[in-house]
C-alpha cells in the first residue's frame, strides 16, 4: 500500500500536486484544509472551531484535527493507498499519524517536502486570493501562516528524516516539472 505525506509551506503546491498524484497512482486524497473548509460550510461543531482560527492563519488544535483525520480514513476501507495533504503539520500530528496507521497495519511510505522560497509563496497565495474567496489568502494572514509554519511545522521534516522517509522536492518551476520530480521519488520506492 502506497501512503504519501505531501508536505510544504502554505502555497507550496501541496493541493495542486496531490490532484496529479491521485490521477496517476489512484490514491485517496485526504486534505485536512479541504475537510475543514467543508465543515465550516456545513456549520458543524468542528467547522465552528476552525472558522476563526483559519482566517487568522492559526492551526486547529491537534486533538480536533487528529479525530477528524481518523474518521476520514475510516470512510475509505478499500483504499489502495492515501495521500495525506496538509497533515501532519506538527510533530504531535506526525506521531498520531504513525499510531493511526499502525492500528490499521499500514505505514507512511514516503514524505515529499515541496520546497519553495518565501517570496514565491506570498506571490502565489496573493494571486490565488484574487479568485479563491478564502478568508486566509490575504497578505496579513499569509505572513502569519508562514510564521506558524516555521515555528510549528518545520520540525516535522526531522521526524521523517530520522525514519529515512523524507525526500526534498524542488517546488519552483512549472507544475509539470515539480510533478516529474515527485513521480521519480515515488517510483524509486515502489
CB count in 10 Å sphere of residue 37: 18
Question: x/- binding map, residues 146-185, to ligand B4P, per CB under 6 A?
Answer: ----------------------------xx--x-------
User: In this structure, are residues 186 and 110 in contact, taking their beta carbons and an 8 Å threshold?
Assistant: yes
Binding status of residue 36 toward ligand B4P by CB under 6 A: yes
Which three-class secondary structure state does DSSP give residue 29?
A: strand
- Binding segment (CB under 6 A) for ligand B4P, from list 38-46, 86-94, 155-163, 181-189: 86-94
Choice from 7, 59, 159, 160 touching ligand B4P (CB under 6 A)? 59
Instruction: Please state, in angstroms and rounded to a whole number, the distance separating the CA atoms of residues 60 and 62.
Output: 6
Nearest to 145 by CA among 86, 93, 72: 86
Choice from 12, 159, 166, 181 touching ligand B4P (CB under 6 A)? 12
Instruction: Please state, in angstroms and rounded to a whole number, the distance separating the CA atoms of residues 182 and 20.
Output: 10
Q: Which three cell numbers stand for residue 95?
A: 506521531
Nearer Cβ to ligand B4P, position 3 or 93? 93
Query: Given the rule CB under 6 A, which residues bind ligand B4P?
Result: 8, 10-16, 32-33, 36, 53-54, 57, 59-60, 65, 86-87, 89, 93, 124, 128, 136, 145, 174-175, 178
Amino acid at each position: 500500500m502506497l501512503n504519501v505525506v505531501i508536505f510544504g509551506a502554505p502555497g507550496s503546491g501541496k493541493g495542486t500536486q496531490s490532484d496529479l498524484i491521485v490521477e496517476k497512482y489512484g490514491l485517496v486524497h485526504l486534505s485536512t484544509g479541504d475537510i475543514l473548509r467543508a465543515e465550516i460550510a456545513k456549520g458543524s461543531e468542528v467547522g465552528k472551531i476552525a472558522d476563526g482560527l483559519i482566517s487568522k492563519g492559526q492551526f486547529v488544535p491537534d486533538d480536533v484535527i487528529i479525530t477528524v483525520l481518523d474518521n476520514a480514513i475510516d470512510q475509505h476501507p478499500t483504499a489502495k493507498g492515501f495521500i495525506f495533504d496538509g497533515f501532519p503539520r506538527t510533530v504531535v500530528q506526525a506521531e498520531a499519524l504513525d499510531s493511526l496507521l499502525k492500528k490499521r497495519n499500514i505505514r507512511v511510505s514516503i514524505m515529499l517536502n515541496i520546497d519553495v522560497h518565501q517570496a514565491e509563496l506570498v506571490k502565489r497565495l496573493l494571486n490565488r486570493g484574487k479568485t479563491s474567496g478564502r478568508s486566509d489568502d490575504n497578505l496579513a494572514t499569509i505572513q502569519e501562516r508562514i510564521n506558524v509554519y516555521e515555528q510549528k511545522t518545520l520540525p516535522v521534516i526531522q521526524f521523517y528524516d530520522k525514519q529515512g522517509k523524507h525526500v526534498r522536492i524542488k517546488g519552483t518551476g512549472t507544475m509539470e516539472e515539480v510533478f516529474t520530480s515527485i513521480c521519480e521519488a515515488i517510483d524509486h520506492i515502489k
